[in-house]
Amino acid sequence: MNARPIAQTRAFRIWALGVWTCAAWTLGVGGLVGCNGPIDVVGEATQAILGGEPSERGAVVMVIGRHADRDRLCTGTLLAPNVVLTARHCVSLFQDGTYSCTLDGNLDLSRSRSPADAGTMGAPLAPEAVEIFEDSTPDTSVVSARGSRIFAPSTDTICRNDIALVVLDRELARAPAPVRLERGVTRAEELIVVGYGINDDATTQRQERSAIAVLDVGGSDFSKPVGSAVPRTFVTGRAACPGDSGGPALSQQTGAVVGVFSLFRGSCDSSEVRNFYSEVAPYGDLVREALRAAGHEVKAEPGGAGTDGAAGAGGQAPVPEPLDPQSGCAWSTPPHGGGWWWLASLLLAVRIGRRARLDEGV
């Protein structure tokens, strides 16, 4: 099945809108206290997984959402031969730009945005506007499948519920990935992250990187909040980059999909970047509904990981390095014991975790 050709460009955007601003949130009060950082000017290249290597995980596919004004490059994972898990912003109307999220998963309307509606999420695209491409270096002139139905939670912002499942118009001859739905991600758990991006030769390639530790976990039905993560998300350090949005975080122990790459704080190639993944388990009902509609059952996480939420790697969670003192912001860890404590800084002026523009035609 042929698709219109596209030229893949390394679209550099200059951001000069105070990417390193931060806020601390008082547990139980929810008030935000801002702190000013330096203006961060970033020339952003679209890249695949940083520090990664070519990936042979056939369940991970490239996703392109065909919008009226441009095409959006993302990554997804087959949970069944005809069901792809990805980020909601990849397959929905979404306004990119510079914006801020609060720790409860809302847009921070007290902060400036550029454009004025940056960070807002609309309805899903028409399913047939979502195209799937296979192989480690896909031929984007040949579409492997298109969407026939999209399952997505309700949201009006990328700051929460950035997850979706696309039922395809055909089954692909690839083994699907298992998925974790019965327990949450834990701090210090080690993951493998996978995604597509555009390299220096202006081609896409699937890459992966292992031993990525979970730094913070947001609150959900499975987890109490630990550190600075919005509800139903978890945070890692440097690994994913633009083009990897929707890509999976896999348990290094079991290979099961545990998260979907959503957005990041800072520059993706910085050692201080923080990547935010939507955790899959809190959306178990949505996953099961999509798989039932597609005529498949859940391929559950293999046994051996235990059911008590213990991380496979064990040990203590890495403590995020503090920012440069000149930035005016710092990461902090809560004191042990009860009472009031401050959660660590969360991204304000968060930018989404993919930035590939695929211009139609040449």
Contacts of 136 (CB under 8 A, 6+ apart): 54, 55, 56, 205, 206
pLDDT tens track for 80-123: 999 999 999 999 999 988 888 998 999 999 989 999 999 999 99
pLDDT at 261 over 70: yes
Asked whether residue 1 is assigned to any structural domain, the reply reads: no
pLDDT score at 43: 25
- CB–CB of 41/62 below 8 Å? no
- Bridge partners for 24 per DSSP: 33
Tally of structural domains, the chain: 1
pLDDT at 355 over 90: no
The CATH number covering residue 264 comes to 2.40.10.120
Average model confidence (pLDDT) for the chain?
73
Q: Which H or E run contains 287?
A: helix 284-293
Give the three-class secondary structure for 304.
coil
Asked whether residue 299 is assigned to any structural domain, the reply reads: yes
pLDDT score at 270: 74
Look at the block and give the residue holding tokens 């348990």. Answer: 251
pLDDT score at 50: 54
Q: Minimum mean pLDDT among 41-50, 202-211, 235-244: which range?
A: 41-50
- CA gap 329, 2 in Å, rounded: 50
**For range 292-311, the mean pLDDT:** 73
- pLDDT band at residue 69, thresholds of 50, 70 and 90? confident
pLDDT score at 128: 97
- CA gap 305, 307 in Å, rounded: 7
* DSSP for residue 90: G
- CA gap 155, 122 in Å, rounded: 8
pLDDT at 266 over 80: no
Residue 155 structural domain: 6-43+53-318+343-360
By percentage, how much of the chain surpasses pLDDT 70?
66
Asked whether residue 330 is assigned to any structural domain, the reply reads: no
Asked whether residue 78 is assigned to any structural domain, the reply reads: yes
pLDDT at 134 over 70: yes
pLDDT score at 191: 97
**For range 170-175, the mean pLDDT:** 97
- pLDDT band at residue 249, thresholds of 50, 70 and 90? very high
pLDDT at 358 over 60: no
Asked whether residue 187 is assigned to any structural domain, the reply reads: yes
- CA gap 108, 99 in Å, rounded: 8
pLDDT at 307 over 50: no
- CB–CB of 186/236 below 8 Å? no
Q: List the one residue out of 67, 94, 95, 61 whose CA is nearest residue 79.
A: 61
Q: Minimum mean pLDDT among 274-278, 298-302, 307-311, 351-355: which range?
A: 307-311
- Amino acid, res. 298: V
pLDDT at 199 over 80: no
pLDDT score at 140: 87
pLDDT at 240 over 90: no
- CA gap 262, 278 in Å, rounded: 6
Residue, of 326 and 216, whose pLDDT is higher: 216
Asked whether residue 331 is assigned to any structural domain, the reply reads: no
Residue, of 236 and 266, whose pLDDT is higher: 236
Q: Minimum mean pLDDT among 85-99, 235-249, 329-343: which range?
A: 329-343
Asked whether residue 324 is assigned to any structural domain, the reply reads: no
**For range 241-269, the mean pLDDT:** 88
Residue, of 287 and 55, whose pLDDT is higher: 287
pLDDT at 217 over 70: yes
**For range 158-164, the mean pLDDT:** 96
pLDDT score at 326: 27
Q: Is the pTM of this model over 0.75?
A: no
pLDDT at 329 over 90: no
